[in-house]
Structures are given as structure tokens and as C-alpha cells.
Structure 1
Amino acid sequence: MSDSRYEVRVENIFEGPMDLLVYLIHKNEVDIYDIPIAMITEQYLGYIDWMERMNVDVAGDFLLMAATLTQIKSRMLLPTHEIDGEDPEDPRLEITRPLLEYLRMKSAAEEIALRPVLGEDTFVRPKGAEEIRPDPEGGFIQVSLFELIDAFQRIIENLPGKHAVELDAERFSIQDKIAHIIEVLEEKGSVTFHELFSRDAGKEELIATFLALLEMGRLGLVRIAQHCQNGIIRLFYQ
């Protein structure tokens, strides 16, 4: 039993509101220049509500984006009028423009990260140096917070009986769950996302495990990645 309500803070660690928008656009396979604002707004608010009910601290910029999307959705419902013979500006451009700029900046940052690092890729390897071992984590890409949420929601939905319950992990200690995950990782080195969640566990215990996983990610104790080919999410002990 936990002494008090545990709150997981994800700001500045996991993705921000722009990342959630990009994720929803990719997930729904929609054109960034023709965003179905009503659908995206509804799904965005759904993720915010889910995180809040899970007691995951939602940063203020998420709520600001929610207000912006809601406002754009309202403007889309209003009748439009031509001004001096010109078509009125699409209200969605208020979000499309910063999204495009964000994607450009993110792409540039990723490109810089791939450049050779001085002393690591730049200089010739000394003669007689140890052979480089194959990377056991090769073929994996970083997992977003929202992909983790989707994966966990599928686990909850597949449980027998009603799953539309109040999400509350107060009955279980997040610290104890973190300790348990560390024990598993120390023994195995890595583990799949689904292996963490016992089939015999109740919903509250599963939620506590998920919150423990998020906290470990925030603390840098684990690296969470997804296999490029089979899509399996795996945790690696840092």
C-alpha cells in the first residue's frame, strides 16, 4: 500500500504537445495541410484526460495546446465570409505553420545527432584495438510516450470483465514496482513491454507497473525501444 498518491512527472523528459500532434497525424494517416481538426482535437483531449486520470502530471503546454485546438475547432464551425474578394484564411494554419516549423527543427536536430562525433567516429581506429562487438540492441528505435500509452491501453482492454474503471494505483507502491522491474532487468538485461505485466494482476496493479515504468524512463534507469521489424517494445537496463 502506498502512503500517498504518487504522481509521475513527464515534462521535459518525454514528448511535448507538438509530438502528440505529430503522433496523431501519423497514426490517423492524415495530411498535415488538411488536418481533420475535430477528430484530432477529440483524440488529443482523450490522451490528456487519460494521462490525468492515470495521475501522470500534464505540463501546462499540453493544456495550452488543447485550448488552441478547441478554439480552432470552434472557428471551423463558424460561417466564413470573403474579405475584399479573397478567401478567408484557414483557421487550421494556426497549428499547421508551427507544426511544419517544429518538424523542420526536429529533422535538423536528428541530422546533427547523426554526424560523426570527435574521438568516436572521426579518428582512425588504433591498430590492435579490440574488435567492436555487434550491438545487441541493433534494429531498435526510440518509443514515444504515446505509443506506450496505446500499448498499455490494449493490455487493459484485453483484460476479462469490465475495464472501464477508475484508474487509480494508490493501493500499490510505485517504488516497490520499480524495485521489482530493476530485479528483472538485472537478471535478464532486457525484457519486453508485455512481460512486465502479469496476466494474474488486477487493473490497479497493472497501472502501478506502468507508472513505475514511466518513472524509470524519467530517471534514465531504462531505455525503451521498439524493434523496427516486429514492432515489439523492449526495455533495456541502462
Structure 2
Amino acid sequence: MTAEAADLPIVGAQDTTPDVVDGLALARLYGEPLFKVPTDLYIPPDALEVFLEAFQGPLDLLLYLIRKQNFNILDIPMADVTRQYLTYVDQIRSRNLELAAEYLLMAAMLIEIKSRMLLPSNKTQEGEEAEDPRAELVRRLLEYEQIKLAAFDLNNVPQLGRDFLHAQVYIEQHTVLHWPQVELIDIQSAWADVLKRATLVQHHKISREELSVREHMTAILRKLQSTRFVEFADLFDPSRGVPVLVVNFIALLELAKETLIEITQAEAFAPIYVRLAYSPA
């Protein structure tokens, strides 16, 4: 319809719409109130289109026609199915010729199958009956139906973003450093290792030496004040002999008992370290 035809009044039509309906506008056009339906309103033919059935292709349409009428897919009545198929193709040809091209190819195949069925059947050289012209079409329809049903079942599986969402919860955490607790068996093992090293250094000189636990405690504290950590084995001097090592070990235990030192370990089976339990002035 041209623009001139759209401006012409409709012959024989009488506008009975009142200028104002209860003081309310029927609609707004570009912000202006509209109190009556315009007589030159033009609606294109393709503005509204209703699809009663939606098909994904020629095989989908053909399968729909067979299943809708409960036809045996292994013994398709080609005349009835072809007639109904062509009726649908004629409908879509009037609206979309490009879409109808694929359906027309299937229509030509149906007509060819029907024509071959009308011809007398020729037996093969072995005397067997010739293959049914519908066999290839039936095979394609059965494969398509299996894939369609599998796609339907797959679509029913819950999908992320459509049926459910991942729950995400943010929990604020404060990391607190916890040193592993040094057990008594760990100290015993470290002490046994020190004694083993001390036996490697033997002296044949016999002498008498007075040893003071308090002096060794003071020496250990003085050594720890100059550094942050000292490895357990570094607090012992194997060259001074086993008696000195024993007194030094007793001094270390006394300091731990009085909570003047801390015996720590970074992880299980790691070296044992000794440090002051207080900050030196």
C-alpha cells in the first residue's frame, strides 16, 4: 500500500469513535494524548504472523505427519503423506520462498519414492525381491527420531545458569600462626643425637671440673639474646665432653621449666629451635 493510498478514507466505513472517551486518552503518540482511533492507520501484512506448528526441517515435518496419524513408519502410505506434505509446503512458499526450498527437495524425494512404488518390482539376479523404495527414508526418519528424543532427554538435565546457580559465600578469615608443639620424645631424640656426636670426640685426659647448672643457664640466655633463634644442637659443644653436655642439657630443661625459653619446631620432623620467651631489654 502506498503512502497516497494510506491517506485515503475508507469508503463505506463510518467512524463512530467519540472525540473524547470519559475525558481519558486512548493512547499517547509522541507524548500527545490520542482520543480517537486514526482512520489512516496502516498495518503491514507481515506485521503479525502466527505459527501453529514449528518444525526444525523436512524430516521433522514428515515425522510429525506420520506420528500424528499413527501411521506405521515401516509401511508409510506415501500418497497420503505426500499430499499432506505438499499442502504444508504450499503454505510456506507463499510466505518464505527461501525456507521452502529445503522442503521442496524432500517433496521431490517423496514423489520419486511414490513413482518407484507404482512401477512393477524387478527381482534381483539371485531371485530375491528388490529393496523397498521407502527403506532409505525410513532409516533416516528412525535415526532422526532417536536423536530428537535424546536431545529432549538431554535438555531435561538440570543445567548451570538455567536451572540452578552456584552458591558463593565469602567468609572472612584471619590466619593465626600456630607453632607445632614440641613433644618430649622429640627432645629425647635430639638429645640422643647430641650424645651420639659427643662420643665421636673422646679425651684421655682425666681432670676434675666443677660444673654449675646456673652458669650454663646464664650462658644459654646470653647466647639467645644475641640472635632470634638457635638450633637445639648448636647449644651444645661436643668437644667439651659428655659431663658438660649433660649439665648444659639440664640447664636447658630448667630454663624451659621456668618459661624463660621456648622450644619450637616449624613442622613435624623439622629441626628443633630454641628462643627466648621474652623480649630482651
TM-score band w.r.t. shorter chain = 0.3 to 0.5
State the structure with bigger RCO (CA 8 A, min sep 6), 1 or 2: 1
Q: TM-score by structure 2 length? A: 0.38
Higher alpha-carbon Rg: 2
Q: TM-score by structure 1 length? A: 0.45
